[in-house]
Amino acid sequence: MSKSKVVVLKTNPKTVLEDYQKLFELAEMKFFFSSSSQTILKDNITWHFPYLSSNTTPWQLEGTILALKKNGFDNLVSVHNDTVVTNPYKGEKLNKLAPIFSKYNIEEKYNFNSNEIQWIEYKPKSKMLALNKIYPEGIKIPEFFIGKNIVHLPTVKTHIYTTTTGAMKNAFGGLLNTRRHYTHTWIHETLVDLLAIQKEIHSGIFAVMDGTICGNGPGPRTMIPVEKNFILASNDQVAIDAVAAKMMGFNPMNIKYIRLAHEQKLGIGNPNEIEIVGEDISNVNFNFYVGDNVASLAGDVLWFGPLKKIQWLFFHTPLVYLFVFASYLYHDFIWWPIKGKKNQNEVRRNSKWGKLFDEY
């Protein structure tokens, strides 16, 4: 397989919108998209609270929109997904994404609203590593996604179950319904299967990753925001995740979903086979770690530990609502008021990106 290209640029609040347009040009995005297809903007609202590092940033979204329009891609639509613990309506408002969609007259759709998007059974052409076993009754995807370009808008951050999360993980909410928790034991294989499906259904796939404020620690929500001033882009979802992982201080090929995707020839996961354009990141190492939180300790036992064989009892029955409530209670009413809000207030006061966020 030939080398994939990942563009990495340094940026600052004064030039970030122009830098995003430069990012697109260097990544040659227009050569990977169908000009006749509608383009989906798939943001990443991991938490409805305004938590920089966890969610798509307003400058990331606006810079992407401007770059797409500059390259002649005006037929844009945003698609949001729901989760059991995140409110997308609240999230897009508090994270200041909604005003940008309104400013550029971009229609918003919600894949959990059956009046807007229908879910259909899909039979992948590629061999599935896990999804056909997890959903023996049939794999369902949003019909709306078929035949469209898609731009993923993740951030550079860690994840308690997958070490890092980025472009590949961003398809998780878009392509799977609210029973996504069925997949957690096989989360790495699931991400690889979803990328294979994306390559079958989309007319073009591109990722724009924001690393202006990155997330360190037990992500993707209970993290420490760290200012790093990077932005990344690539049409290779595996390669951009691999480069982001390397920048964070991890060996990409030791991360299972990246290694599996590389072995399945869905992209390049070996940094030695990736062409880095823009910034010299050969000596970049954030020295990030993952760690655990209360939610991950429970998940380790139920999804990966001794209770894995009877997880159906906890997650395929009404008992799942106990775990949903516990996660919601922990994140929104314990961790956020005690630590999360304080973290964000510090970013908003002391970081130039926090000041830019307040200007939106």
pLDDT in tens, 96-128: 999 999 999 999 999 988 889 999 999 999 999
Q: For 60-66, what is the mean pLDDT?
A: 98
Per-residue pLDDT reduced to its tens digit, 333-350: 999 999 999 999 999 999
- pLDDT exceeds 90 at position 20: yes
Query: Does 83 score more than 90 pLDDT?
Result: no
- The model carries a pTM of 0.94
pLDDT in tens, 285-300: 999 999 877 666 666 6
pLDDT in tens, 213-252: 999 999 899 999 999 999 999 999 999 999 999 999 999 9
Summarised one tens digit per residue, pLDDT across range 155-185 is 999 999 899 999 999 999 899 886 766 777 8
Higher pLDDT, 342 or 319: 342
Q: Name the nearest CA neighbour of 155 among 56, 233, 227, 228.
A: 56
Judged against a pLDDT cut of 60, whether residue 140 lies above it is answered with yes
Q: Please, which residues bridge with residue 206 across strands?
A: 151
DSSP line for 261-307: HHHTTSS---GGGEEEEES--TT----------HHHHHHIIIIISTT
Cα–Cα distances in angstroms (integers) from residue 238 to residues 152, 200, 233, 321, in the given order? 13, 16, 11, 33
144/58 Cα distance (integer angstroms): 25
What average pLDDT does the structure give for the chain? 92
Residues 6+ apart with CB under 8 A from 325: none
CA distance linking residue 27 with residue 306, whole number of Å: 45
pLDDT at 107: 97
Stronger pLDDT, 145 or 112, i.e. the higher one: 145
Ramachandran region of residue 7, left (φ > 0), alpha (ψ -120 to 50) or beta?
beta
Residue 175's pLDDT is 93
Amino acid at 164: T
- Examine the pLDDT at 152 and tell me if it is beyond 70: yes
For the chain, what percent of residues have pLDDT higher than 70? 91
Among the residue ranges 17-21, 57-61, 311-315, the one predicted with the least confidence is: 311-315
